[in-house]
Chain A
Amino acid sequence: MSAPSPSTGSTGASAAVLKIGGLDLAFRQSDIRALESASDMDGNAPLERSVGWIAYMRQRWPVYCLSEQLDVLDSVPPARRTCALLAFEAGYFGLLCDDAAILRQAAGQLHEVPPAMKHANTPILGLLPDGEHLLCLSNPGRMAAYLEHRTRRQSLPEELPCLP
C-alpha cells in the first residue's frame, strides 16, 4: 500500500517563468539560453507551423508561437513581444511569450498533473501553486517533443470520435 502523496515534492531551484496569455509556463532558469526581442526574429520562410527564426551561436533556430492552451499558432499575437531561446539535446528553439520573469524560489509544493487531465504527450511535467498563480513546469526536451508532435500532425477536435 502506497503512502498518500498529495504532491511530488518541492522545488528550490530558480525558475524562468514565461507568460503566455494567462499561462505561466516555467522552466529551470538554466534551460533558457537567451531572451531576445520578438522583433529580432526573422519571419522569412519559417518552417511549417513555426513563425520565424532566431539567431544564436552562428546558426538560426526555429521559433514557435503557442496559445495559452499550448495550441501551435501560425500568426503571432501582438502581446508576444519576447522570444525565449531554449536549449535541449538536439539544439535550440525559440518560444514566443508576452513576458519573462525569474522566480528565485517558489514557495509551494510541486504537484503531478492529475491523470484525468493528462494527455500522454503533454509538455507539462508538474504544477506549482505560487500565490494567486499556478506555474506549469516543463523542460525543453519535453516541449520540443510536444512541438514535434503537434506540428507533424494536424489535430482534429479532441471530442470528435476517431473514425475507424
Chain B
Amino acid sequence: MPAMNAWLLDFGNDCMAAVGTRELLHLVDAPVTFAVPYTPVYCRRVVSWQERLLPVMDIATRLGALPRSAPFLAVVGYQQQRGEHPQFGALKLACPPRQLAVDNSQACALPEQNGAWRELAISCFEHQGSPVPVLDLRRIFGNAPRAQCQIETGAAPSAHDTANEES
C-alpha cells in the first residue's frame, strides 16, 4: 500500500488543493478568530495558536468566491528559506482534510479556468479525474497583499483651519 504523502483540503465552493503531510500541523475545530482592519478580503482575521497570531487565509475567496465562515482551520507550517525556523499560517476549511497517496504519474497542469492558481500553487496532480493544485505556502503567507488600485481625486486631509475658536 503506498504511503500517504499529502493532505487533501476542501475550502468549499468546489475549491480543493493539497499540502504535504508534514506541512499540516494542527486542525482547529470551531476556531475563535479576531478581525484585523484594512486587510485583504481573503485574509481579514487572525487566530491565536501557541502564543502566536496566525493569519487566516481564505483560499476560496482568493479564487473569487464570496467570504464565508469556516468550521475548521488547518494550521500549516512552512520555511521562508531552507534552514530557517518555520513560519505558520492557518487555512479556512469547509471540512476536515483527508490523506492521500500521490506519485509523479499523477502530475498535471494547473486548472486553466482560474489564473489565480498560478500565484498560489507550486504544482498540481490529478485525483479522481480532477486537478488538485499543491499549495505554495511560502508564497501564500510570505508575500504582502497587492497594492490597491487607486485613482487620484485630490484633497488635503491633514490641513487645518485657523479660525479663532476656543478649545
Chain A: residues with CB nearer than 8 A to chain B?
1-4, 6-7, 22-23, 25, 34, 42, 47-50, 53, 55-62, 64, 68-70, 90-93, 109, 111, 113-120, 122-124, 127, 129, 133-134, 136, 144, 146-148, 150-156, 158-163
In the assembled complex, which residues on chain A have CB atoms less than 8 Å from the CB atom of B145?
Answer: 116-119, 158
Known contacts A56-B167, A160-B149; decide if A115 and B143 are in contact (CB<8 Å). Answer: yes
In the assembled complex, which residues on chain B have CB atoms less than 8 Å from the CB atom of A58?
Answer: 164-167
In the assembled complex, which residues on chain A have CB atoms less than 8 Å from the CB atom of B161?
Answer: 53, 59-62
Is the pair A116, B149 in contact by a Cβ cutoff of 8 Å?
Answer: no
Complexed CA–CA distance, A163 and B37 (Å): 26
Known contacts A47-B156, A58-B167; decide if A116 and B141 are in contact (CB<8 Å). Answer: yes
Per-residue CB proximity of B31-69 to A under 8 Å, as 1/0? 000111111110110101011111101000000000000
- Give, as a whole number of angstroms, the nearest-CB distance from B84 to chain A: 6
Complexed CA–CA distance, A133 and B167 (Å): 33
B152 part of interface (Cβ distance < 8 Å): yes
Chain B: residues with CB nearer than 8 A to chain A?
34-41, 43-44, 46, 48, 50-55, 57, 83-86, 89, 140-167
In the assembled complex, which residues on chain A have CB atoms less than 8 Å from the CB atom of B146?
Answer: 158
Complexed CA–CA distance, A34 and B166 (Å): 13
- Give, as a whole number of angstroms, the nearest-CB distance from A158 to chain B: 5
Is the pair A129, B53 in contact by a Cβ cutoff of 8 Å?
Answer: yes
In the assembled complex, which residues on chain B have CB atoms less than 8 Å from the CB atom of A120?
Answer: 144, 147
Complexed CA–CA distance, A91 and B154 (Å): 21
Complexed CA–CA distance, A55 and B57 (Å): 43
Is the pair A62, B167 in contact by a Cβ cutoff of 8 Å?
Answer: no
Is the pair A158, B40 in contact by a Cβ cutoff of 8 Å?
Answer: yes
Complexed CA–CA distance, A56 and B36 (Å): 31
